[in-house]
């Protein structure tokens, strides 16, 4: 009697959203519930992990303020190996896998290894923060575009953005991982012509019970943020739409 063939493994890259389990998509929940192994980022809410079957393996591969549970290259290798052994591997990533989540690197690695992979999008932090603040990221009278930028490069320095193009766009800027580099981000924008009075807000732990907000202007927020001691994941929204929040009273300038 021949042995049963090994089941074909596969990988699902799942966006777990910004933290609140209620912001998971139905597709994400189904993937988690069918997983044989979950490799999860730091700050994934335990309630999200509890959606998995009791026998599913749970592997913490998160990164916390420079302390990595596992290097990215090792994560890539582990995901592929588990799938090649026949497991359905769910890679749980905060926010959306393809918005500053290294999902592209993992996708490339899995394709190279010949492993079947699908992607489940998730709510990214900028959208969660905007919803919490009731601040539209775009507005026909104020901002006709939105730009996601990172404030934290691979070496910890601010990446070389085209500050002039960002300022000229007149759109909303959502700066991820910018709490420590905001002084340089602000300096780049102001040097490119952004008025120092442009409204800005820093949001720590968007969508979570411990969410904190700090409103200000692009000129004043860096110093205020440093004094406030935000230590958790922090997103900074910059632009006139921020003034639409009920928590900030700043006159609006119409988009050019």
Catalytic residue set: 41, 63
Give Cα separations from 137 to 34, 83, 108, 229, 240 (angstroms): 35, 38, 31, 26, 10
Distance CA 39, CA 211 (A): 25
Q: Which residues contact 5 (CB under 8 A, 6 or more apart)?
A: none
Q: Which of 93, 88, 99, 55 is nearest to 72 (CA)?
A: 93
Q: How many CB atoms lie within 10 A of CB 153?
A: 12
Residue matched to tokens 């953005």? 161
Phi, psi of 240 (to 5 degrees): -65, -20
């Amino acid at each position: 009697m021949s042995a049963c063939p090994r089941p074909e493994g596969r990988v699902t890259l799942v966006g777990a959203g910004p933290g609140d389990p209620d912001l998971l998509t139905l597709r994400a929940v189904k993937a988690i519930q069918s997983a044989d192994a979950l490799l999860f980022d730091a700050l994934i809410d335990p309630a999200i992990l509890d959606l998995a079957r009791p026998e599913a393996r749970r592997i913490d591969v998160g990164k916390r303020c420079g302390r990595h549970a596992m290097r990215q290259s090792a994560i890539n290798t582990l995901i592929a190996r588990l799938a090649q052994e026949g497991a359905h591997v769910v890679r749980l990533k905060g926010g959306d896998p393809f918005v500053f989540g290294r999902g592209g690197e993992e996708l490339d690695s899995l394709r190279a290894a010949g492993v079947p992979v699908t992607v489940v999008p998730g709510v990214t932090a900028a959208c969660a923060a905007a919803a919490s603040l009731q601040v539209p990221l775009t507005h026909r009278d104020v901002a006709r575009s939105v730009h996601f930028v990172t404030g934290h490069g691979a070496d910890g320095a601010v990446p070389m953005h085209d500050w002039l193009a960002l300022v000229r766009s007149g759109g909303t800027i959502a700066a991820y991982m910018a709490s420590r580099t905001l002084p340089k981000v602000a300096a780049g924008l102001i040097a490119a012509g952004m008025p120092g009075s442009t409204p800005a807000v820093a949001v720590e732990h968007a969508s979570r019970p411990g969410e904190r907000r700090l409103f200000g202007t692009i000129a004043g927020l860096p110093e205020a943020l440093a004094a406030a001691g935000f230590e958790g994941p922090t997103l900074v929204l910059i632009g006139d739409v921020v003034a639409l929040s009920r928590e900030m009273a700043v006159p609006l300038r119409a988009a050019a």
